[in-house]
Amino acid sequence: MSQVMPDIPQAAMAVLRALESGGAEAWIVGGWVRDALAGGPSHDVDVTTSARWQDAASMLARAGIAVHETGTKHGTITAVVAGVPIEVTTYRVEAGYADHRHPDEVRFVDDVRDDLARRDLTINAIAYHPERGLLDPFGGANDLAAGVIRAVGEPDVRFEEDALRVLRAVRFACRMGFAIEPATQRALEAHAPELAEIASERIGSELDGILATGRMGWALREQKAVLCQAIPELSPCVDFDQRSKCHHLDVLDHIAGVLDAVEAFSGGMASQRLRWAALMHDIAKPRCFSVDDGGRGHFYGHPEEGERMAEQIMRRLALPLALIRPVRALVRLHDRPLRGIHEGDRTLAERSVRRLLARMEELCEGEGPALAHELIVLKQADALAHAAPYRGWAAELEEARRIIRGVIAEQGAFSIRDLAISGQDVMDALGIESGPRVGEVLRELLGDVIEGKLPNKRDALLAHICK
């Protein structure tokens, strides 16, 4: 952990000086202090002050700093210095969280220590002043150095106040690679059911943040109780025996393994849609489970049911449609066979990959090539999370990646707009008006091009439809 604090940004210093010139006490608090102590990049700066918000606004205005009343109910205003926003909040304490999220009472106080005592985690309850140094009444700096997530004060009280803190604690553990100390962990699990009272969009935001750390696999294994409350559809996956020689893990641990492998194959740079798809890809397996006469488990239709479940879950969590659509496509196609790859049949493999590109483009217009690459990563990660004899498929799928690159490089056709002729060309060649027949002809041509029966050449395509 860094012991030398970086210089406070000029905008924040201007706010501090304006408040102190007006007779108030002020400190830098929150994420900037935490990240600076940890030696990582620091971004937004928050200031807390003894001044009531009306007085703070006057002090800042006298210093020529623009002020916006952004949360005065909780004592918060936003100062803007040279285009940089700085949140300024009066010291406060909170009480009476009847809905496990919002305080029933906010009371302004004069001691910054009281303000720090209301915060969630010790690593977020540290104040800093360039002259007075650190104010750390709960040992947050020591917890940063030790790599520990610990609730401020009594953990049960902190999580009972605001159940969303349960997910925040997991997010910080994932983001920083920290362990959660035992008392805090027990409180997390005890209060996880209270997430049912939290707005779904807030849960979605925290889950998205956990996925963004690249450590959702760890969270699924170590924080099952919390994650299964956040996404109840995960609960049936816990300890679900797949009864298959291909799988040595239950469904939830398999999903966790796929999440880990996605990060490995992506160098820790997986897209958010790929991470969500890895989380959702087998979530429908318990619903689709059947056992054959030999006692072997099967999951017929789980990609299609998984696609439906992924959309339902992600819409409930108020995630954007621009994220949901590609996740649906990846989940739908994650189990699609790529014939010819395993057999070493290059011709069959190329046709199979072209069909895949066409299908992906159909599901997500304009994103087919990029999503096809991500689908291969998902399929490789899925293979790596299988039982040992079946993991070699992950290496064999590199051939599919090479074929995709080749198809894109040669500007191969995998959607109607990639064809060397247009709808107008079809109408001119056949002497027909605009209508369904034009689309039918173009789709037939695309199918023939994908299958290698026709080259994507203007003359060849026109000759074919005119014969």
Q: pLDDT tens, 424-454?
A: 988 988 888 888 898 898 888 888 888 888 8
Q: Answer yes or no: is pLDDT of 389 > 80.
A: yes
Percent of the chain with pLDDT over 70: 97
Q: Answer yes or no: is pLDDT of 267 > 50.
A: yes
Q: Answer yes or no: is pLDDT of 1 > 50.
A: no
Q: Which helix (H) or strand (E) holds 133?
A: strand 133-135
- Which residues have C-beta within 8 Å of that of residue 324, sequence separation ≥ 6? 310, 311, 314, 315
How high is the pLDDT of residue 450? 83
Neighbours of 331 (CB within 10 A): 30
Q: Answer yes or no: is pLDDT of 229 > 60.
A: yes
pLDDT band at 413 (very low <50, low <70, confident <90, very high): confident
Q: What is the arithmetic mean of pLDDT over 352-357?
A: 89
Q: What is the arithmetic mean of pLDDT over 65-80?
A: 94
Neighbours of 211 (CB within 10 A): 21
pLDDT band at 103 (very low <50, low <70, confident <90, very high): low
Supply the DSSP string of 261-315, one letter for each residue: HHHHHTTT---HHHHHHHHHTTTTGGGG-EE-TTS-EE-TTHHHHHHHHHHHHHH
Q: What is the arithmetic mean of pLDDT over 165-181?
A: 97
Q: Answer yes or no: is pLDDT of 318 > 80.
A: yes
Structure tokens at 335: 């189990």
pLDDT band at 162 (very low <50, low <70, confident <90, very high): very high
Q: Answer yes or no: is pLDDT of 2 > 70.
A: no
Residue with tokens 């009272």: 197
Q: What is the arithmetic mean of pLDDT over 398-421?
A: 84
- 84-90 and 92-95 strand pairing: unpaired
Partnered with residue 29 across adjacent β-strands are 46, 127
- Compute CA distances 162 → 166, 171, 233, whole Å: 8, 15, 23
Q: What is the arithmetic mean of pLDDT over 49-68?
A: 96
Separation between Cα atoms, residue 122 and residue 108, nearest integer Å: 21
Residue with tokens 């805090």: 184
Separation between Cα atoms, residue 61 and residue 51, nearest integer Å: 14
How high is the pLDDT of residue 96? 57
CB distance 172 to 123 below 8 Å = yes
| pLDDT averaged over every residue in the chain | 92
Q: What is the arithmetic mean of pLDDT over 385-413?
A: 87
Closest by CA position to 384, among listed 234, 248, 242: 248
Q: What is the arithmetic mean of pLDDT over 267-286?
A: 97
